[in-house]
């Protein structure tokens, strides 16, 4: 990539950051929770499921069991019954039960504060661990979901083939102090404006601002 292209990409990133912080100042955490443990469980439940749906089932689940000890006592079958409306509920109930046991065995019932320890828990991948590190512990992280992956491509900030590439590219373009807010701001923008196939890159202000010379509608190769 030539130097002037790099500058343009950095300029686009800076504009995205400015615009999104105006649109979504202090973006709220979308998953309801009361502490690190309930956040971890809510994030685990949100895999391939909407935050809205997760927020519908967690009040009853957390009223029944808001700690790892109480979750183990509740048992896997009852966890499954309470989270049944959520996709992949059987696997998720197993993960929640086993994860709660492991928190008691390995971490004195606390949620660990490192990526390695979090990612060693069942049902917890890098994205879930990143959300917990960012939102529970304030550690800079850039969890990349499908909205962020799509928008990074459409705004010309990454041509990565997968979320790992996209995370690496975005971390280079944005200051570390902005990551935790920015990942939420991009998700909010994506949900509001930029769904899978609904746009040709000319509809909303941000793309127009980033690509003022765009004459023709864009056909995206990827959803």
Nearer to ligand SF4, 92 or 154 (CB): 154
Catalytic residue among 51, 145, 165, 171: 145
Residues ≥6 apart with Cβ < 8 Å to 192: none
The answer to whether 8 touches 36, Cβ cutoff 8 Å, is no
**Coil, strand, or helix at residue 222?**
coil
- Closest separation in Å from C-beta 202 to ligand SF4: 6
Q: Are 132 and 111 in contact (CB under 8 A)?
A: yes
To the nearest whole angstrom, how small is the minimum distance from the Cβ of residue 198 to ligand SF4? Answer: 7
Of the candidates 98, 88, 89, 41, the residue with the CA atom closest to the CA atom of residue 67: 41
> Is residue 207 a contact point for ligand SF4 (CB under 6 A)?
yes
Q: Is 145 a catalytic residue?
A: yes
182-201 residues in contact with ligand SF4 (CB under 6 A) are 193-194, 199, 201
Q: Is 34 in contact with 66 (CB distance < 8 Å)?
A: yes
Rule CB under 6 A: choose which of 168, 203, 214, 223 binds ligand SF4.
203
Active site residue 14: no
**Binding-site ranges for ligand SF4 (CB under 6 A):** 154, 193-194, 199, 201-204, 206-207
């Amino acid at each position: 990539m030539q130097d002037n292209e790099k500058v343009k990409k950095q300029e686009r990133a800076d504009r995205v950051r400015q615009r999104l912080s105006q649109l979504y100042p202090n973006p709220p955490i979308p998953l309801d929770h009361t502490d690190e443990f309930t956040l971890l469980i809510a994030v685990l439940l949100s895999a391939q499921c909407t935050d809205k749906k997760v927020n519908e089932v967690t009040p009853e689940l957390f009223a029944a069991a808001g700690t790892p000890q109480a979750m183990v006592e509740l048992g896997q079958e009852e966890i499954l019954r309470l989270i049944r409306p959520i996709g992949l509920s059987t696997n998720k109930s197993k993960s929640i039960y086993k994860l709660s046991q492991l928190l008691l065995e390995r971490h004195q019932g606390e949620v660990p504060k490192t990526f390695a320890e979090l990612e060693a828990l069942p049902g917890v991948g890098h994205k879930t661990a990143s959300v917990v590190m960012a939102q529970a512990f304030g550690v800079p992280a850039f969890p990349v979901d499908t909205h962020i992956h799509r928008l990074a491509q459409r705004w010309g900030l990454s041509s990565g083939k997968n979320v790992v590439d996209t995370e690496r590219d975005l971390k280079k373009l944005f200051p570390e102090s902005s990551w935790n807010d920015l990942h939420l701001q991009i998700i909010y923008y994506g949900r509001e404006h930029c769904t899978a196939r609904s746009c040709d890159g000319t509809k909303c202000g941000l793309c127009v601002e980033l690509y003022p010379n765009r004459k023709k509608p864009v056909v995206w190769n990827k959803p």
